[in-house]
Chains A and B, each alone.
Chain A
Amino acid sequence: TQLLEQSPQFLSIQEGENLTVYCNSSSVFSSLQWYRQEPGEGPVLLVTVVTGGEVKKLKRLTFQFGDARKDSSLHITAAQPGDTGLYLCAGASGSSYKLIFGSGTRLLVRP
């Protein structure tokens, strides 16, 4: 069974601080996605990483895929209250695009 462990599970920080969320697995994934989810809504895709060692930047968000394609990290610089939400990593393997979701990180950015 493929598992994705995310850490931390919950993070409460002050506006302007930096943070990193980790997503780790013992399995290799063909691609890994990061999503953000608001209460009562479906997850919204932030980024997809497919190449080991890949780094992608999306404004204040930096995503990295581990060299062995087993782990990933999400770094947010100068967090804002609008960044508050549930962050989920999800790994895909094979050709069916069946996603296995991580345990989630709930982020609260206080003004």
Chain B
Amino acid sequence: GAVVSQHPSRVICKSGTSVKIECRSLDFQATTMFWYRQFPKQSLMLMATSNEGSKATYEQGVEKDKFLINHASLTLSTLTVTSAHPEDSSFYICSAPDRSYTEAFFGQGTRLTVV
């Protein structure tokens, strides 16, 4: 089946710095990707929809200037957490639907810890 690769799997950064997370579709093209956030022992919360060649669509309550999304190609979307703070520490997961939009493939997730 299709594979979505997320990198890095873990990152620790200092408060105030920015962190970039990559999400790649390895064997298929994804015009749309989704970014989720998951706090410990909780479910996934949709943050934004990443659209290739256009601006991302953010869910209510998600700061677009805080979480910058770039979908510059059909196989890569990036999420940059800017000026990270400890409260941004979380598990971030991306997903991409297949061409027929019948299944979503998830990345392995990125554990972000801001110290």
Give the B-binding residues of A (Cβ under 8 A): 1, 6, 31, 33, 40-45, 48, 88, 90, 92, 95-104, 106
Contacts and interface: CB of A to CB of B under 8 A. Distances in A.
Nearest to A4: B43
Interface stretch (B11-19, B69-77, B82-90, B102-110): B102-110
B78 interface: no
Given A33-B104, A106-B41, A42 B93 contact: yes
A43 B93 CA distance: 9
Interface residues on B, range: 20 to 34
Given A45-B104, A96-B32, A102-B43, 5 more contacts: A42-B106, A96-B101, A99-B34, A99-B95, A103-B42
B68 interface: no
A22 to B, nearest CB: 15
Contacts of A99: 34, 46, 95, 104
Contacts of A95: 101
B103 A98 contact: no
Nearest to B111: A40
B45 interface: yes
A102 B45 CA distance: 9
A101 B109 contact: no
Contacts of B97: 96-97
